[in-house]
Chains A and B, each alone.
Chain A
Amino acid sequence: MKARVSVGHELMRRKNAVFFTISRRFIRVWQRNWSVYRKTWKVSFLPPLFEPLFYLLAFGIGLSSFVGELSYRGFQVSYISFIAPALIAVNIMYNAFFENTYTSFVRMYYQKNFDAMLATPLSLEEIITGEIMWGATKSVIATAIMQSVISLLGFIHYPQGVLILPLSFLGGFAFGSFGMFITSIMPNIEIFNIPVFLFITPMFLFSETFFPINHLPDWVQKLSLLFPLTHLVRITRSLSFGLLDSGLLWNLAYLLIFSLIFFPLALLKMHSRLIK
Chain B
Amino acid sequence: MCGRIDDPKGKSRVEYVIEAENLRKVFNNFVAVDGISFQVYPGECFGILGPNGAGKTSTIRMIYGFSPITSGKLRVFGLDITQKWRKIRARVGVCQQDNNLDADLNVRENLEIFAQYFNISRKQARGKAQSLLKFIALEHRQDDEVINLSGGMKRRLVLARALINDPDLLILDEPTTGLDPQSRHQVWDRLRELRSKKGLSILLTTHYMEEASQLCDRLIIMDHGRILVEGKPADLIRHHVGHVVIEVDDPSPKLRIFVQNHNLKHEDLGHRLIIYGQNQDSGRLFQEIDDQFVNENCILRMATLEDVFLKLTGRELRE
What does the 1/0 interface line of B118-162 toward A look like (CB < 8 Å)?
110000000000000000000000000000000000000000011
- Which residues of the partner chain A approach B81 to less than 8 Å between Cβ atoms? 18
- Which residues of the partner chain A approach B161 to less than 8 Å between Cβ atoms? 116
Within the complex, what minimum Cβ distance (angstroms) separates B11 from chain A? 33
Cβ of A117 under 8 Å from chain B: yes
- Residue in contact with B68 in the complex, picked from A28, A29, A31, A275, CB distance below 8 Å: A275
Q: Which of A120-128, A133-141, A152-160, A189-197 contacts B (4 or more CB under 8 A)?
A: A120-128
Q: How far is the CA of A119 from the CA of B81 in the complex (A)?
A: 13
What does the 1/0 interface line of A2-46 toward B look like (CB < 8 Å)?
000000000000011111010001001101100110010000000
Cβ of A113 under 8 Å from chain B: yes
- Which residues of the partner chain A approach B113 to less than 8 Å between Cβ atoms? 31-32, 35
Question: Which of chain B's residues 63-117 have a Cβ closer than 8 Å to chain A?
Answer: 64-69, 81-83, 85-86, 89-90, 92, 94, 96, 98, 100-105, 109, 113-114, 116-117
A116 and B102 form a contact (CB under 8 A)? yes
B90 and A121 form a contact (CB under 8 A)? yes
Cβ of A215 under 8 Å from chain B: no
Q: How far is the CA of A115 from the CA of B69 in the complex (A)?
A: 17
Q: Across the two chains, which residue of chain B brings its CB closest to A36?
A: B104
**Contact A18 B85, CB 8 Å, known A115-B100, A116-B100:** yes
Question: Which of chain A's residues 77-117 have a Cβ closer than 8 Å to chain B?
Answer: 107, 111-113, 115-117
**Contact A15 B68, CB 8 Å, known A113-B102, A119-B94, A122-B117:** yes
Q: How far is the CA of A123 from the CA of B113 in the complex (A)?
A: 17
A119 and B66 form a contact (CB under 8 A)? yes
Question: Which of chain A's residues 144-164 have a Cβ closer than 8 Å to chain B?
Answer: none
Cβ of A73 under 8 Å from chain B: no
- Which residues of the partner chain B approach A121 to less than 8 Å between Cβ atoms? 86, 89-90, 117-119
B68 and A120 form a contact (CB under 8 A)? no
A28 and B27 form a contact (CB under 8 A)? no
Q: How far is the CA of A25 from the CA of B109 in the complex (A)?
A: 19
Within the complex, what minimum Cβ distance (angstroms) separates A108 from chain B? 11
- Which residues of the partner chain B approach A25 to less than 8 Å between Cβ atoms? 119
A31 and B116 form a contact (CB under 8 A)? yes
Q: How many A residues are at the interface, by size bracket?
A: 20 to 34
Within the complex, what minimum Cβ distance (angstroms) separates B97 from chain A? 10
Q: How far is the CA of A120 from the CA of B120 in the complex (A)?
A: 12
Q: How far is the CA of A44 from the CA of B27 in the complex (A)?
A: 42
Question: Which of chain A's residues 172-199 have a Cβ closer than 8 Å to chain B?
Answer: none
A contact face: mostly helix, strand, loop, or mixed = loop
- Residue in contact with B100 in the complex, picked from A17, A39, A113, A122, CB distance below 8 Å: A113
Q: How many B residues are at the interface, by size bracket?
A: 20 to 34
B83 and A17 form a contact (CB under 8 A)? yes
Q: Across the two chains, which residue of chain A brings its CB closest to B68?
A: A16
B100 and A112 form a contact (CB under 8 A)? yes
Q: How far is the CA of A36 from the CA of B85 in the complex (A)?
A: 28
- Which residues of the partner chain A approach B94 to less than 8 Å between Cβ atoms? 119
Q: How far is the CA of A63 from the CA of B98 in the complex (A)?
A: 54
- Which residues of the partner chain A approach B67 to less than 8 Å between Cβ atoms? 275-276
Q: How far is the CA of A35 from the CA of B89 in the complex (A)?
A: 24
B89 and A18 form a contact (CB under 8 A)? no
Within the complex, what minimum Cβ distance (angstroms) separates B68 from chain A? 4
**Contact A18 B102, CB 8 Å, known A28-B116, A35-B113, A121-B119:** no
Q: Across the two chains, which residue of chain B brings its CB closest to A116?
A: B100
- Which residues of the partner chain A approach B103 to less than 8 Å between Cβ atoms? 111
Within the complex, what minimum Cβ distance (angstroms) separates B265 from chain A? 42
B98 and A123 form a contact (CB under 8 A)? no
Cβ of A118 under 8 Å from chain B: yes
Q: How far is the CA of A122 from the CA of B85 in the complex (A)?
A: 10
- Which residues of the partner chain B approach A16 to less than 8 Å between Cβ atoms? 68-69, 82
- Which residues of the partner chain A approach B109 to less than 8 Å between Cβ atoms? 35
Q: How far is the CA of A276 from the CA of B109 in the complex (A)?
A: 29
- Which residues of the partner chain B approach A118 to less than 8 Å between Cβ atoms? 66
Within the complex, what minimum Cβ distance (angstroms) separates A243 from chain B? 42
Q: How far is the CA of A25 from the CA of B67 in the complex (A)?
A: 20
Q: How far is the CA of A41 from the CA of B101 in the complex (A)?
A: 22
Within the complex, what minimum Cβ distance (angstroms) separates B142 from chain A? 15
B105 and A119 form a contact (CB under 8 A)? no
Within the complex, what minimum Cβ distance (angstroms) separates A30 from chain B? 10
**Contact A116 B89, CB 8 Å, known A17-B83, A18-B82, A25-B119:** no
**Contact A120 B114, CB 8 Å, known A18-B68, A18-B85, A275-B67:** yes
**Contact A115 B96, CB 8 Å, known A18-B82, A123-B86:** yes
Q: Across the two chains, which residue of chain B brings its CB closest to A123?
A: B86
- Which residues of the partner chain B approach A39 to less than 8 Å between Cβ atoms? 104
Q: List 12 A-B contacts (CB under 8 A).
A: A18-B65, A18-B85, A25-B119, A32-B117, A111-B104, A112-B98, A113-B100, A113-B102, A117-B117, A119-B64, A119-B66, A120-B118
What are the nearest 7 A-B pairs in CB distance?
A112-B100, A119-B94, A120-B117, A16-B82, A16-B68, A36-B104, A116-B100
